[in-house]
């Protein structure tokens, strides 16, 4: 399984400003595998320490902050010298190891020759807590579910990937490429991007085992919910989590607490919601009252939409069998495009460093699915799950705020097309969005 993040890890290794690295991402998204594979490829040795399997290792960080003494103790465990630049030190399951996290400060200040990378489940939750976390002393890398492009690579569709990577014009994609890409894209909807799922599919092509793996991942997440420090929050976490399919099945996907539980109020569920967002199993998209720079200045924090971190998990959480997606009407119409929106959010979150927002007009007549802040631009985005490309909301936002939008984007199953300021991107090209945006803006500039 080839991950794009491998190049980010290599850039970290080579950087003269390298700091200890923290990998963030949901459980079972492949953080540990990625670090071990990275170490195998680019270092002479790997010194791996799992603090969940071996809590006794934590004592090395409790009595001293001296990096040399810590490394000496770690060397006794692995049985070989840990050398600067040649050994990748991996600290795994660090979410409940505050002394380890605090020690990263001293690795940066006094032992930066050592290459240290850390990972952990629920690390986002741990970092959200007030603690002696070494602010400014670590680098971060977010690991997302595997993208559609990464799935194509895993399936050895190198010809299709090379074609899309090298696309340098806005000409329509020939049917010889377009039709196979649509078929692979539909498959990604069923599978999602969890590495174990894609690895099993590539190896066995067994749809039954896919659903079993996805359900096991969901159950693992729900066991994590029980780790909330306040036991009374557990039912609330479960209620929010299981309301996700019904929230997204609505035409207006604004999150409603009434769908979580009859009579539910925001203040009762706020802590549970924030915990889920910090755990990264859900993605929160806030409403913007005005589509202007910076988007963060116009957020309405009381209005938001909630999506799943992975569309494969969303499908399984919705208890939809793979066979239900063999009917295109169900895939693209009955579910009101919720899977398409979730897919686009998933893809853009992996490609762009800033969070997406959405916009509604003051009278709520129009809604634009997403707003992307790209460099010094705000780009409105609408997602269409099929070939129906009527876009009244994109027309409305231009009419109301037209001077601010040199580019508007619509994702659909229509072919690639650039007309004036409207860029239609086929859904399967979402991972190439930045490449197409750069190209479109370049065309406009000329």
Whether 322 has a pLDDT exceeding 90, the answer reads: no
- The boundaries of every CATH 3.40.50.300 domain in the chain are 5-142
User: Mean pLDDT, to the nearest integer, of 192-211?
Assistant: 93
User: Mean pLDDT, to the nearest integer, of 199-212?
Assistant: 91
pLDDT for position 337: 83
Chain mean pLDDT for the chain: 93
| SS3 per-residue string spanning the chain | CCCCHHHHHHHHHHCCCCCCEEEECCCCCCHHHHHHHHHHHHCCEEEEEECCCCHHHHHHHCCCCCHHHHHHHHHHHHCCCCCCCCEEEEEECCCCCHHHHHHHHHHHHHCCCCEEEEECCCHHHHHCCCCCCCCCCCEEEECCCCCHHHHHHHCCCHHHHHHHHCCCCCCCCCHHHHHHHHHHHHHHHHHCCCHHHHHHHHHHCCHHHHHHHHHHHHHHHHHHHCCCCCHHHHHHHHHHHHHHHHHHHCCCCCCCHHHCCCCCCHHHHHHHHHHHHHHCCEEEEEEECCCCCCHHHHEEEEEEEEEECCHHHHHHHCCCCHHHHHCHHHHHHHCCCHHHHHHHHHHHHHHCCCCCEEEECCCCCCEEEEEEEECCEEEEEEECCCCCCCCHHHHHHHHHHHHHCCCEEEEECCCCEEECCEEEEEHHHHHHHHHHHHHHHHHHHC
User: Mean pLDDT, to the nearest integer, of 384-398?
Assistant: 87
If you classify domain 5-142 with CATH, what class do you get?
alpha beta
Whether 101 has a pLDDT exceeding 90, the answer reads: yes
In this prediction the pTM is: 0.94
Whether 419 has a pLDDT exceeding 90, the answer reads: yes
Whether 255 has a pLDDT exceeding 70, the answer reads: yes
pLDDT for position 36: 98
């Amino acid at each position: 399984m080839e991950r794009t993040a491998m190049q980010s890890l290599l850039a970290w290794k080579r950087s003269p400003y390298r700091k200890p690295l923290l990998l963030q991402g949901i459980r079972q998204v492949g953080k540990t595998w990625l670090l071990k594979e990275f170490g195998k490829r680019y270092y002479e040795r790997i010194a791996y320490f799992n603090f969940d399997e071996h809590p006794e290792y934590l004592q090395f960080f409790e009595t001293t902050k001296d990096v040399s003494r810590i490394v000496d103790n770690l060397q006794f465990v692995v049985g070989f010298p840990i050398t600067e630049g040649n050994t990748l030190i991996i600290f795994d399951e660090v979410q409940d190891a505050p002394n380890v996290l605090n020690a990263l400060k001293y690795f940066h200040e006094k032992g930066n020759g050592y290459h240290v990378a850390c990972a952990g489940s629920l690390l986002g939750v741990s970092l959200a807590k007030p603690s002696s976390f070494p602010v400014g002393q670590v680098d971060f890398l977010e690991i997302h579910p595997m993208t559609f492009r990464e799935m194509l690579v895993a399936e050895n569709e190198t010809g299709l990937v090379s074609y899309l990577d090298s696309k340098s014009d806005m000409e329509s994609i020939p049917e010889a490429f377009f039709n196979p890409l649509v078929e692979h894209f539909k498959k990604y909807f069923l599978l999602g991007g969890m590495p174990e799922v894609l690895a099993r599919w590539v190896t066995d092509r067994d749809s039954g085992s896919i659903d079993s793996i996805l359900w096991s991942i969901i159950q693992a997440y729900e066991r994590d919910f029980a780790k909330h420090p306040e036991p009374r929050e557990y039912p609330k976490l479960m209620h929010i989590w299981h309301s996700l399919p019904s929230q997204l099945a609505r035409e207006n996907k604004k999150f409603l607490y009434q769908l979580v539980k009859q009579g539910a109020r925001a203040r009762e569920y706020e802590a549970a919601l924030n915990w889920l967002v910090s755990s990264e199993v859900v993605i929160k998209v806030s409403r913007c009252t005005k589509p202007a720079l910076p988007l963060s200045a116009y957020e309405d924090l009381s209005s938001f939409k909630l999506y799943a971190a992975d569309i494969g998990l969303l499908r399984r959480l919705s208890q939809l069998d793979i066979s239900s997606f063999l009917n295109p009407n169900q895939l693209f119409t009955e579910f009101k495009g919720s899977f398409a929106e979730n897919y686009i959010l998933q893809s853009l979150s992996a490609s762009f460093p800033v969070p997406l927002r959405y916009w509604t007009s003051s009278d709520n007549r129009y809604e634009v699915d997403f707003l992307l802040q790209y460099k010094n631009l705000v780009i409105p985005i609408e997602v269409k799950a099929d070939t129906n490309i009527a876009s009244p909301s994109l027309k409305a936002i231009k009419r109301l705020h037209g001077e601010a939008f040199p580019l508007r984007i619509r994702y659909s199953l229509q072919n690639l097309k650039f007309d004036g300021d409207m860029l239609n991107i086929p859904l399967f090209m979402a991972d190439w969005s930045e490449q197409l945006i750069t190209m479109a803006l370049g065309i406009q500039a000329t």
